[in-house]
Amino acid sequence: MTPVVLVKLVGDGLLACLGVAGNAFILSSNVWHFCRVKGGAREKQGSVLAGEITISCIAVANLLLDLFGFLWFVMKVLHLDCLIGNTGYTCIMYSFMVTGSCSFWFTTWLCIFYLVKIISVPNAFFIRLKRNISVLTFTFLVIIFIYSCVLSIPNILSIQFYQTNISESNGNLSQSSCNKTIQNNIPIGILIFSGFLLLFLPAGIMVYACVRIVLYLRHHIKRMERSSSSDIPSSSSSSSPALQAQIRISIMITCLVIIYLLCDTVLFLVLMSRFFISNFALIQDFAAFAVSVFTGGTASILIFGNSNLRRNLMSICCPASESTKT
């Protein structure tokens, strides 16, 4: 193992560990919170629980994406294709694609969820949607999972390894044969189709939701300041806890969109790399690091953007300060 390979494995491993730690904390914290919620509170806080369940689904998808992504990266860097064979390679790639698609679309649904909860539109359909968004959340989460499983099938079917099982070749295959990659075998039509449904469509929806939330809150704050009476300080119009919570959510959504667009750009270049880059080793390094940064960055944004998660983290990191508050 060369020093360069060792640095790659250590670097991506550290990023993956940070992502696993952050997403595991989110999952455990929300599970602990769900266990504490009583039946009456569950009915009153349906929207809150729906949002936390969506965040938990994102954490599960990112956790699995970190594990399968790092496994894929180790497999490609150490050239373990010859050992796992066609079946093992296909299982790893399919799991990688499904968890990645679930992570992207769960994050997109979180943006849609907060968009519907925050903005107000004088429309009968939107009002009905706003009233039932908590119930629809569970249905859409299941639909997203099924959608991701189906979407990944064409890519897997397009992978054309050598007909001979590599694990039974007894070392007769050349190194170049073992390094055969998925990008060299998926037709361009399937690449464009999958790239649109997996990368561009979620990006467009997330950007739209983010812009609508920011513009609505900006207009809402200005309208409150104009309508406030002269004897009330203008700063009080934007100091209500509900509005401050909405502002924090808008900041969280904006950060999620930014980190997704960065990851989206890198993954798009990976998909298109077959046309202008012959050194796929460099591209796979960028893809692995981009996925690790996305999962870890998403976990950090969700923790600091969600009041319950942030409070639980502070209680773990600074138990003395939390005890003094109580």
| Contact assessment for residue 66 and residue 290, using Cβ atoms and an 8 Å cutoff | no
Six-digit token string for 169: 């070749």
Residue 40 has what pLDDT?
A: 46
170-to-1, 82, 164, 166, 226 alpha-carbon distances in Å: 21, 9, 11, 8, 78
45 vs 325: CA distance, rounded Å: 25
CATH of 3-159+181-227+237-306, one of 1.20.1070.10, 1.10.10.10, 1.20.1090.10, 3.40.30.10: 1.20.1070.10
- DSSP letter at 170? T
**pLDDT per position in the chain (326 positions), as tens?**
677 778 878 888 888 888 899 999 999 888 887 776 654 444 445 666 788 889 999 999 999 999 998 888 888 777 776 677 677 777 888 898 899 999 999 999 999 999 998 888 888 888 888 888 888 898 999 999 999 999 888 777 776 544 334 444 444 444 455 554 444 456 677 777 777 888 889 999 999 999 999 999 888 888 877 776 544 554 445 567 778 888 889 999 999 999 999 888 887 777 776 666 555 666 777 788 888 889 999 999 999 888 888 888 887 776 655 544 54
Tell me the whole-structure pTM to 2 decimals: 0.84
170 vs 66: CA distance, rounded Å: 31
Sign for the CA dihedral angle at 100, 102, 106, 108 comes to positive
Torsion from C-alpha of 168, 170, 173, 177, nearest 10 degrees = 50
Q: Residue 227: phi, psi to the nearest 5?
A: -85, -10
Residue 104 has what pLDDT?
A: 93
| Contact assessment for residue 92 and residue 84, using Cβ atoms and an 8 Å cutoff | yes
Residue 274 has what pLDDT?
A: 61
Is 52 strand, coil or helix?
Answer: helix
Q: Residue 46 belongs to what H/E stretch?
A: helix 46-77
Cα atoms in the Cβ-side hemisphere of radius 13 Å centred on 38: 2
145-to-19, 151, 165 alpha-carbon distances in Å: 21, 10, 31
75 vs 69: CA distance, rounded Å: 10
Count of other CB atoms within 10 angstroms of residue 176: 7
56 vs 299: CA distance, rounded Å: 10
Six-digit token string for 275: 């046309």
Q: What is the residue extent of each domain of the chain? A: 3-159+181-227+237-306
207 vs 71: CA distance, rounded Å: 31
72 vs 97: CA distance, rounded Å: 11
238 vs 16: CA distance, rounded Å: 39
- 3-class secondary structure for 256-273? HHHHHHHHHHHHHHHHCH
92 vs 136: CA distance, rounded Å: 31
Report how far Cα 119 is from the mean position of its chain's Cα atoms. 23
Residue 186 has what pLDDT?
A: 62
